[in-house]
Structure 1
Amino acid sequence: MSGNSSETLTSISKYSFHWYDYVFFCVMLFISVAIGVYYGFLRKKNLTPTEYMMGNKDMKGLPVAISITACHISGVNLLGVPADAYRFGGSYLLGVISMVFVIAITIFIYVPVFFELQITSIYGYLEMRFDKKTKAVVSFLYICCELFYLPIVVYAAALTLSAATGFTTNLQIIIVCCICIFYTSVGGLRAVIWTDIFQFLIFFTVFLVVFVLGIKTEGLLTVWNKTLESGRLDIFNLDLDLTDRNNVWTSVIGLTFHWIALNIVNQATIQKILTVSSLTQAKFTVFYFEFLFVMIKVICVILGFVIYTRYSSCDPFTTKQVEKNDQLVPHYVMDIAGNTGLPGIFVCGIISAALSTLSANVNAMAGVIYQDFLKDLIPNVSERTKCNILKLLVVAIGIWCMCISFVIVHSEGIVLLQLTSSAVYSGPVLGIFTLGVLFPRVNANGAFYGAMVGFITIFLLAVPSKFLQSQGKLKVIPKPLSTDRCNVLNHTFIPTSPLVTTDSYTIFKITPFCYTFIGASVTLIVGLVISYFTKCEHLPNEALLSPVTRFILTRRVRKAEASYTNVEEALKQLQQAETKDVDS
């Protein structure tokens, strides 16, 4: 569920759990807990910190890829993307093109470095490449961003479950958090991976059923024609306009940078990739994961088109049947399958997606906190104590998520903070890692201050934009929406207002698709400039550089050695000539 949910899902609230829904829900939770118990108590009693955080490094690519996909596909995608396609068009479909670049860049530039280093926290790379100050700042920002994101995941799942069962949202928050904390803390990363796989199969199957049922109900040809007529496939605009989200450049380039930052330069992703046995397996893992990720995105977008086909003559937003984007898909599920058990299973699918996202990120954050902040403060402790510290961190993070979720119930301010922090964080972090792996002469000053300028730039762009949106002064124009066949209204609703009410807000019209690209670009440019003027005392170890950069350096060294040899030969010839002249 997306971060802007703040009200009960009125559509789902029309559906009450039946006995079979409760059975299915309880079985799902029981299996998740059983996996944690198996890996925490039965499979191996003496668990080491490395095994707890990284597994045994003998996992296969496909299971790990499914787990990573489950981590990144929460309700944000399952509920938000179809609603986005319904209202604004299918720009996410251009992500298929982006994914080709994402896979190539990831496999050849980033993954070989992280896999060769085999580090528990990817932010430890920044200390090895630059200095402790850079690592500490980036790690701290990552933790802050996650601490505001994960409670929203919990709240969204609890809200959906509460609307269906009738129990209070606070009670559902406690249930979701306690279950997740238990199996994540006792089972470690292996339990997280296998519960992710189990939960992925649930929510993917549920959404596939909804998707197929929708296509069957509306008709594939009808969906295609309605989508074309409404302009929702007008996404191949080649104008270089950063304010237009349905634009090839902003979508392809923007999503490429965004997905590399979100999916790859990410602790939860790299931590799981490092559980496989070889670099080849790691590359296959990336390929499988990105394929699954973009496939689910495409299904969600097409589902949005299917929903538009059904409501093309009676928009539920205009008639106030639906008030928030996150309510659209549940409303549609109730509409086409309200008399079946599908709505209840649909709710369980949303809970599964939330649990997989929560467990993976809590486990990853615990590793970063211990490795980057606590390890040096409490040296010389036993392996068992380290494991217990990691488990306590998981529990503490889970309790934090629970408490902040209670606050979200009564406040929307934290939602705005989370959305802003995510936008501010991702671009500069991608920029600083790129400086490290691709540019050997970039020094610690260039990386640190480049990232700081990147953070400030996106902060000054994203915060006012989010504020103006919350005040209604910045409005994104949806595609045409009609109510001409509704009983409630009898007119066509086609927004004609400009994107913003005042020209002074022009810069804040830039689509969020571009935020990561802008943040990364500013970080790269400033970091390179500062490093050029402050000079680099020595080149970093080859292991800290991408294979692409190592290859270039090797060619330069060979060329320099060849040039040096030629100079020596020339000097010898000159000396011989001078000697002959003297003798003569």
Structure 2
Amino acid sequence: MSRYLDWPDYLVIVALLVLYLFVGVFYGFRSHFTKLWHCICHSSTKEKSPEENLTPADDIFLGNRKITLLPIVASTMASFMSAVAIMGNNSEAYCYGIEFVMLILGYCIAFPVAAEVYTPVFYKLGVLSAHEVVYIAVVLYAPSLALSRVTGWPVYSSILISGILGTFYTALGGIRAVVWTDLIQTIVMLGGFVLILVFGCQQVGGIERIWEIASRDQRLNVLEAIHLQLPMNAVFLSVQMLTGLVTYAVFVGCDPKLNGEITDYDQIFPHLVMRLFSDIPVLRGLFLSTVFAAALSTLSSGVNGIACVLVEDVFMDIYLTVSKGSRLRRSRLTFIARFIAILFGLVIIGLAFLLQVVPAGVLRISFSIFGAIGGPILTVFTLGIIFPFINKWGALFGFLGSLVAGLTMIVGTLYFYTFQEHVLAPLTNATCSIVNSSVSTSAPSLVTAVTPAPPPEYGFSFFNLSYLYLTPFCLLVGLVIAVPISLLTALELTAF
């Protein structure tokens, strides 16, 4: 098996990256292309488009609210299908089984609530919001692990490539570039997973053999949750878990980390690709593009959202106050929006560099950030939308208390976390010498094994709370603080 990519793989990767750049450049300079086309066709129409009545920010960040349904659905799904999900979920299923599919239960609650409670409020108000800076840095860091495994390049090279590319086409093309590149990336990701499942099943002896190995080694926990699948994200999560089972079946008895082939289980997805498609170089490049596509989709959506929040909620307020209501030229606002997008892209690249020193896996890092930072933000939105009696003081202290609680939990788990995760079934490289003997005459590897120990007894520690529960924990803390403070301050105001 070739350890690194060949030139056809790089050709495929470069071709897809150039395609993403082209979409950004096209939508960034679409007006110039349109004028050129009218000149060529001798078109002299000067009718005012209804879109001209909208603000420049609507065009840059929302596509004039006229982007069709299919690309919007694909873009939303691609944004959630980050490199963290592709690599983290695969390693999770490989090491611990498919209990993670229980997230579909959360989808069944969260998606309807978001669609029926939160989204209508934001849509009717016409407001824009995004709070993803730190999480996007994790998403940017994840594909760097894959690239370092299949190319031998240092981690920072991938961070720079992904960060600069995603920031560039987002800053130029705005939301239209984000949506249409996300549509392309969704097709690439879905096609990649399907081919991995087909080739993986063929290599290990069919889906029955995969199920047999997974059942024998306790990887088939909580299958009942599959019956609760929601479209899109539920299907993708199930495919990722099944890919994890394929990964386990392919490497059963020859764990690549114990054998020294990878340094972290988050690298097992690209290692699987190199193993399955060792004789088909072009497909290896296609699947590495899958990881890049997942990272770029989330990066582009996040950068666009952050830039739009700063332009609409910060810059425009300051400008209108200073200029006493005078309108800002469209070209200048476009330049400012692109500058802010580039600036935050650079900030995200810097944060991704810092993540190299964090020992936890990308899945745990991302969920911890979602819980500790997203939880307080969810608290504020929930208080404002569902609890009308909450006043500004209750919301303020509820948010601060929730944020302090979330950050305390993250820091506490680094120093006071006593619970140790253990694999469900033995991971060993005992059969690696047999596998290697068919392709190499090198000496057998040192046999290492990780065997499951009985669940140990742990003393109570508040910081043993699972990272998956950080969001509801922060929400609960915020509610407990906000409600009494709002009631007390309301009583004081009525007393005076």
Matched, 1:112 2:123: no
- Change in Cα spacing, 1:453 to 1:34, as seen in structure 2 (3 Å) is same
Cα contact 2:371–2:468 (8 A) shared by 1: no
Task: Choose which of 102, 106, 109 in structure 2 pairs with 1:101.
Answer: 109
Shift of residue 479, structure 1, vs aligned partner: 0.9
Quick one: distance in 2 between partners of 1:323 and 1:37?
A: 38
Matched, 1:36 2:24: yes
Task: Choose which of 82, 92, 98 in structure 1 pairs with 2:90.
Answer: 82
Residue 434 of structure 1: aligned partner: 382
Matched, 1:423 2:423: no
Identity %: 26
Please list, as runs of the form range in 1=range in 2, the aligned pairs for 1:347-426 lying within 5 A after superposition: 347-379=288-320, 380=326, 381-406=328-353, 411-412=357-358, 420-426=368-374
Cα contact 1:85–1:301 (8 A) shared by 2: yes
Structure 2: which amino acid aligns with 1:298?
Answer: S
Q: Secondary structure at the match of 2:317?
A: coil
- Change in Cα spacing, 1:301 to 1:355, as seen in structure 2 (3 Å) is same
Cα contact 1:454–1:522 (8 A) shared by 2: yes
Residue 437 of structure 2: aligned partner: none
Quick one: distance in 1 between partners of 2:105 and 2:150?
A: 38
Q: Secondary structure at the match of 1:81?
A: helix
Matched, 1:191 2:185: no
Quick one: distance in 2 between partners of 1:314 and 1:30?
A: 38
Task: Choose which of 209, 216, 219 in structure 2 pairs with 1:232.
Answer: 219
Residue 244 of structure 2: aligned partner: 304
Q: Which structure is larger by alpha-carbon Rg, 1 or 2?
A: 1
Structure 1: which amino acid aligns with 2:179?
Answer: I
Quick one: distance in 2 between partners of 1:42 and 1:59?
A: 15
Quick one: distance in 2 between partners of 1:461 and 1:175?
A: 33
Matched, 1:509 2:457: no
Q: Secondary structure at the match of 2:129?
A: coil
Shift of residue 407, structure 1, vs aligned partner: 5.3
Quick one: distance in 2 between partners of 1:177 and 1:103?
A: 29
Residue 148 of structure 1: aligned partner: 134
- Change in Cα spacing, 1:50 to 1:523, as seen in structure 2 (3 Å) is same
Quick one: distance in 1 between partners of 2:454 and 2:384?
A: 45
Quick one: distance in 1 between partners of 2:152 and 2:271?
A: 17
Structure 2: which amino acid aligns with 1:89?
Answer: G
Deviates more, 1:313-322 or 1:190-199: 313-322
Structure 1: which amino acid aligns with 2:208?
Answer: L
Q: Secondary structure at the match of 2:29?
A: helix
Cα contact 1:476–1:499 (8 A) shared by 2: no
Matched, 1:217 2:207: no
Cα contact 1:17–1:164 (8 A) shared by 2: no
Shift of residue 67, structure 1, vs aligned partner: 0.5
Q: Secondary structure at the match of 1:495?
A: coil
**TM-score normalised by length of structure 2:** 0.81
Matched, 1:15 2:4: yes
Cα contact 1:15–1:338 (8 A) shared by 2: no
Quick one: distance in 1 between partners of 2:352 and 2:298?
A: 15
Task: Choose which of 193, 217, 227 in structure 2 pairs with 1:207.
Answer: 193
Matched, 1:480 2:451: no
Shift of residue 306, structure 1, vs aligned partner: 1.7
Unpaired segments ≥5 residues, structure 2: 36-51, 321-325, 434-444
CA-to-partner distance for each residue in 1:118-149, whole Å, 9 max, x for gaps?
Answer: 11337xxxxxxxxxxxxxxxxxxx3xxx4433
Residue 459 of structure 1: aligned partner: 407
Structure 1: which amino acid aligns with 2:316?
Answer: K
Quick one: distance in 1 between partners of 2:268 and 2:30?
A: 43
CA-to-partner distance for each residue in 1:92-133, whole Å, 9 max, x for gaps?
Answer: 2222332222232122211221111111337xxxxxxxxxxx
Shift of residue 28, structure 1, vs aligned partner: 1.0
- Change in Cα spacing, 1:407 to 1:522, as seen in structure 2 (3 Å) is closer
Cα contact 2:372–2:474 (8 A) shared by 1: yes
Cα contact 1:192–1:360 (8 A) shared by 2: yes
Shift of residue 166, structure 1, vs aligned partner: 5.2
Quick one: distance in 2 between partners of 1:374 and 1:400?
A: 18
Shift of residue 537, structure 1, vs aligned partner: 11
Cα contact 2:84–2:142 (8 A) shared by 1: no
Structure 1: which amino acid aligns with 2:213?
Answer: K
Structure 2: which amino acid aligns with 1:34?
Answer: F
Quick one: distance in 2 between partners of 1:457 and 1:75?
A: 28
- Change in Cα spacing, 1:530 to 1:233, as seen in structure 2 (3 Å) is farther
Quick one: distance in 1 between partners of 2:223 and 2:406?
A: 27
Quick one: distance in 1 between partners of 2:491 and 2:173?
A: 45
- Change in Cα spacing, 1:105 to 1:176, as seen in structure 2 (3 Å) is closer
Matched, 1:494 2:480: no
Residue 559 of structure 1: aligned partner: none
Structure 2: which amino acid aligns with 1:35?
Answer: V
Quick one: distance in 1 between partners of 2:174 and 2:449?
A: 55
Please list, as runs of the form range in 1=range in 2, the aligned pairs for 1:497-576 lying within 5 A after superposition: 503=459, 506-535=461-490
Quick one: distance in 1 between partners of 2:345 and 2:404?
A: 30
Quick one: distance in 1 between partners of 2:151 and 2:358?
A: 24
Cα contact 1:499–1:509 (8 A) shared by 2: no
Cα contact 1:93–1:298 (8 A) shared by 2: yes
Cα contact 1:195–1:356 (8 A) shared by 2: yes
- Change in Cα spacing, 1:86 to 1:167, as seen in structure 2 (3 Å) is closer
Shift of residue 159, structure 1, vs aligned partner: 4.8
Cα contact 1:420–1:462 (8 A) shared by 2: yes
Please list, as runs of the form range in 1=range in 2, the aligned pairs for 1:221-300 lying within 5 A after superposition: 221-235=208-222, 291-300=231-240
**TM-score normalised by length of structure 1:** 0.70
Shift of residue 365, structure 1, vs aligned partner: 0.7
Q: Secondary structure at the match of 2:452?
A: coil
Shift of residue 328, structure 1, vs aligned partner: 1.3
Quick one: distance in 2 between partners of 1:104 and 1:180?
A: 30
Residue 440 of structure 2: aligned partner: none
Cα contact 2:368–2:467 (8 A) shared by 1: no
Please list, as runs of the form range in 1=range in 2, the aligned pairs for 1:63-78 lying within 5 A after superposition: 63-78=71-86
Cα contact 1:465–1:474 (8 A) shared by 2: no
Please, what is the CA RMSD of the aligned residues?
3.3
Cα contact 2:254–2:432 (8 A) shared by 1: yes
Quick one: distance in 1 between partners of 2:139 and 2:448?
A: 37
